[in-house]
Amino acid sequence: APTTDGARDRPLDGAEDDDFRSALLAGLAATPKRVSCKFFYDAEGSALFDRICTLPEYYPTRVELDLLERHAGELAVLIGPDVELVEFGAGSGRKVRRLLDALRRPRAYVPVDISGEHLHQAASRLRADYPRLGIRPVVADYTRAFDLPPSVSGAQRRVGFFPGSTIGNFAPEEAAGFLGMAAALLDGGGLLIGVDLIKDPALLHAAYNDSQGVTAAFNKNLLARANRELGADFADDGFAHYAFYQPLARRVEMHLVSLVAQRVRVAGREFRFATGETLHTENSYKYTVEEFRSLAAQAGFVPRRYWTDAARLFSLHWLEV
Ligand code: AVI
């Protein structure tokens, strides 16, 4: 398997471009070729990701929802009443609903997302069902430093929610940077975070190579997006989805591998791919429970409690500041 050390996702230091056009042009000019996984999530990509979350092989969503339900009572006690819940990224709403339903008198929900459209949808879906909850969306890139508005009156503490093991899409040093920033924002409160675990590589391989080909379509949508938005001419049959677990780096890598020697035009510029050359599109790091707790502790959290499923596929951590 190829290694692409130095490939980076979702930067905390502002070094990488936010704009798909300039990020893709820079990534195609780099060696090895790479692009941040944040560009997966246009409307098509987000819909494909929602389908991934329902696949039998993709255990993280199922296991995390189950952990939230199974431990709802204990979570309510640990987190406490009257909290302001800050979600990093506006998810589909299923997970936050499960958490809101467990908590006593949650005061406010603050989804933070770079996409105003996502935020608007997340907010209006919840408003109808939680009429007494203050819903206060914040448009910000949570991979960079940002400010939250003052807490709503009556809120006892701020609690962060970062489900889905999205933390795994950061390189470990970036994950540490994110956790440090979250600890500062959530001072006096805590963070409930989902973290995918190191396990039998065959299970990881299946989760990122599902039998219905949805993950392949999700990965290849990046090229289709470039064709739609940047006038690129990526041939659909010129590239294949390639995902594998890299045990030394402890991450699943996703690539788009060129099946032939070819030239591709993107925004008026030409790039060559050799046969077998890849565009590295995503890293998904896996942790042991102990490793993650020590990363969180180094970032300023006190790891209080964690839960896993019986097969130890996935973990949910309650960290306090
Ligand atoms: C969003 N993120 C945590 C997913 C993951 O597992 O790394 C994205 C994904 N990529 C392929 N399947 C799902």
Question: Which segment, 2-6, 141-145, 253-257, is predicted with the most confidence on average?
Answer: 253-257
Token pair of 198 as six digits: 């190191």
Between 13 and 247, residue with greater pLDDT: 247
- The protein residue with its alpha carbon nearest to ligand 1, atom 4, reads 166
The Cα 100–Cα 68 span in angstroms is: 10
Gyration radius from the chain CA atoms: 20
Between 2 and 59, residue with greater pLDDT: 59
pLDDT for 160 equals 98
Nearest alpha carbon to residue 227 among 216, 235, 218: 235
pLDDT for 239 equals 98
Assess whether pLDDT exceeds 90 at residue 116: no
In a 13 Å sphere around the CA of 134, the CA atoms on its Cβ side amount to 17
Measured in angstroms, how far is the CA atom of residue 230 from the centroid of ligand 1?
A: 24
The Cα 22–Cα 267 span in angstroms is: 9
Assess whether pLDDT exceeds 80 at residue 235: yes
The complex's ipTM?
A: 0.99
Measured in angstroms, how far is the CA atom of residue 152 from the centroid of ligand 1?
A: 33
**Ligand 1, pocket-test mutation among 49, 63, 113, most atoms within 8 A of CB:** 49
* Percent of the chain predicted with pLDDT > 70: 94
Assess whether pLDDT exceeds 50 at residue 2: no
pLDDT for 76 equals 97
Nearest alpha carbon to residue 112 among 158, 70, 76: 158
Q: Which atom of ligand 1 lies nearest, measured to the CA of 166?
A: 3
Mean pLDDT value of segment 116-145: 88
- The protein residue with its alpha carbon nearest to ligand 1, atom 2, reads 166
Residue in this structure with the two tokens 């400010």, named with its chain if needed? 147
- The protein residue with its alpha carbon nearest to ligand 1, atom 3, reads 166
Residue in this structure with the two tokens 């889905």, named with its chain if needed? 164
pLDDT for 12 equals 39
Least-confidence region, from 6-10, 29-33, 107-111, 299-303:
6-10
Assess whether pLDDT exceeds 80 at residue 10: no
Element (H, E) at 304: strand 302-308
Are the beta carbons of 134 and 106 closer than 8 angstroms? Answer: no
Phi, psi of 64 (to 5 degrees): -65, -40
- The protein residue with its alpha carbon nearest to ligand 1, atom 1, reads 166
Measured in angstroms, how far is the CA atom of residue 17 from the centroid of ligand 1?
A: 21
Least-confidence region, from 10-24, 79-93, 160-174:
10-24
Query: With bands split at pLDDT 50, 70 and 90, how would you rate the model's confidence at 205?
Result: very high
Q: Is 166 exposed, middle or buried (0-12, 13-18, 19+ CB in 10 A)?
A: buried
Query: With bands split at pLDDT 50, 70 and 90, how would you rate the model's confidence at 17?
Result: low
Measured in angstroms, how far is the CA atom of residue 101 from the centroid of ligand 1?
A: 26
- The protein residue with its alpha carbon nearest to ligand 1, atom 5, reads 284
The Cα 172–Cα 287 span in angstroms is: 10
Mean pLDDT taken over the chain: 92
Token pair of 160 as six digits: 């962060």
Are the beta carbons of 16 and 46 closer than 8 angstroms? Answer: no
Identify the residues whose C-beta falls under 6 Å from ligand 1. 52, 164-166, 168-169, 208, 215, 282, 284
Mean pLDDT value of segment 163-167: 97
Q: Is 32 helix (H, G, I), strand (E, B) or coil?
A: coil
Strands 262-266 and 269-273 come out as: antiparallel
Prior bond of 32 cis (ω within 30°): yes
Measured in angstroms, how far is the CA atom of residue 80 from the centroid of ligand 1?
A: 30
Element (H, E) at 24: helix 20-29
Assess whether pLDDT exceeds 70 at residue 16: no
pLDDT for 154 equals 86
Token pair of 128 as six digits: 């109808």
Assess whether pLDDT exceeds 80 at residue 194: yes
- The protein residue with its alpha carbon nearest to ligand 1, atom 7, reads 284
Please give the single-letter amino acid code of residue 258: S
Cα 309 to chain centroid distance, Å, stands at 20
Nearest alpha carbon to residue 184 among 160, 207, 167: 160
Query: With bands split at pLDDT 50, 70 and 90, how would you rate the model's confidence at 258?
Result: very high
Assess whether pLDDT exceeds 90 at residue 1: no
* Inter-CA distances, 231 with 126, 222, 255, 266, 268, Å: 37, 13, 21, 6, 8
Measured in angstroms, how far is the CA atom of residue 270 from the centroid of ligand 1?
A: 30
pLDDT for 182 equals 97
Q: Is 232 helix (H, G, I), strand (E, B) or coil?
A: coil
Mean pLDDT value of segment 286-302: 98
**Ligand 1, pocket-test mutation among 39, 58, 169, most atoms within 8 A of CB:** 169
Measured in angstroms, how far is the CA atom of residue 58 from the centroid of ligand 1?
A: 9
Measured in angstroms, how far is the CA atom of residue 114 from the centroid of ligand 1?
A: 18
* pTM of structure: 0.92
Angle among Cα 295, 5, 202 to the nearest 5 degrees reads: 75
